[in-house]
Structure 1
Amino acid sequence: MKNLAFLIVAAAMLVVNCGTPKNTVAVADGQQEEPVRIANDSLEYEIIIIDPGFTTYLNSIAKPMEYYSQSFLEARNLVYVTEWNNRARNPHAYNANIYENIIDYQPNIDYGLEVNYKLFWYFQFAQRKYNMRLSGFRVY
């Protein structure tokens, strides 16, 4: 009888503790997070990401900057920006609080690896945070 009780308890602990890990990052209440600023004065552009939690996400979940090639990031960003802008232009169909601004991303401009990296990971972050899909691509 003791063995049966032990097996039941062990099986219950195994079931409870063997779930898939969640990729969540908690940010302490009241903790201020610095906006992520991406700028290049010679190209005259600036991106400021003020979405709470993005800096933590970028530092903890995003893969290293050199993980993806710049051309991969540019191709994905073009798809994401196109869908984002479609939603921003249609505030009656989509949450205007999420899609507040049009993103002026031009494929013929070389923004560099850092800009494409941060923009790509912002789209990953936003898709998770707001439970949305901007494409058929996997959300990282």
Structure 2
Amino acid sequence: MKKILYTLVLAAFVIGCATTNTKNDIGNTAGTTSDTVRIANDSLEFEIIIIEPGFNNWLATQQPRGYYEQMYLENRNIIRVVEYNNRVLNNAQYDPNLYIQQINYERGVDYGYEVNYLLHNWFKFFEQRYGQKLR
């Protein structure tokens, strides 16, 4: 299970590096070369790393940890992961530079609050930065 969320990390990294013509409605990220957020859980053997310019600054403006229930975050993440993965598979219709690799997020696995919180907010960030709707 250690590789469950590596796909998300790779996608975020490639998206951050591969896209050049992006819509920047997130705010001023000038001077920010890279933000890295890393969460690891050795007992479940998984890790999530989000490498996205401006993500940390943007995250600080969002609802604080504890605002959402974990179940809400899990349900939102499942919906968005399914849509995101469908877009990865349909690269003729969706930009393959944005949707690079599927995310292995499984329903019923307890990833913990922090991973769900960060994944939820990464999806919101992704939607805003790249003008996508994953709902």
The TM-score normalised by the length of structure 2 is: 0.76
Q: Give runs of aligned pairs for residues 1-140 of structure 1, distance below 5 A.
A: 24-29=26-31, 31-59=32-60, 61-135=61-135
Which residue identity does 1:47 align to in structure 2?
Answer: I
Q: Relative CO higher for 1 or 2, CA cutoff 8 Å, sep ≥ 6?
A: 2
The TM-score normalised by the length of structure 1 is: 0.73
**1:38–1:46: 8 Å Cα contact kept in structure 2?**
yes
Which residue identity does 2:27 align to in structure 1?
Answer: V
CA distance in 1 between partners of 2:111 and 2:120 (Å): 12
**1:54–1:125: 8 Å Cα contact kept in structure 2?**
yes
Which residue identity does 2:43 align to in structure 1?
Answer: S
Unpaired runs of 5+ residues, structure 1, are 1-22, 136-140
**2:38–2:48: 8 Å Cα contact kept in structure 1?**
yes
* Number of residue pairs the alignment of both structures matches: 111
Q: How high is the sequence identity, in percent, across the aligned residues? A: 45
Name the larger-Rg structure. 1
CA RMSD, Structure 1 to Structure 2 (Å): 1.5
Unpaired runs of 5+ residues, structure 2, are 1-24
CA distance in 2 between partners of 1:47 and 1:93 (Å): 28
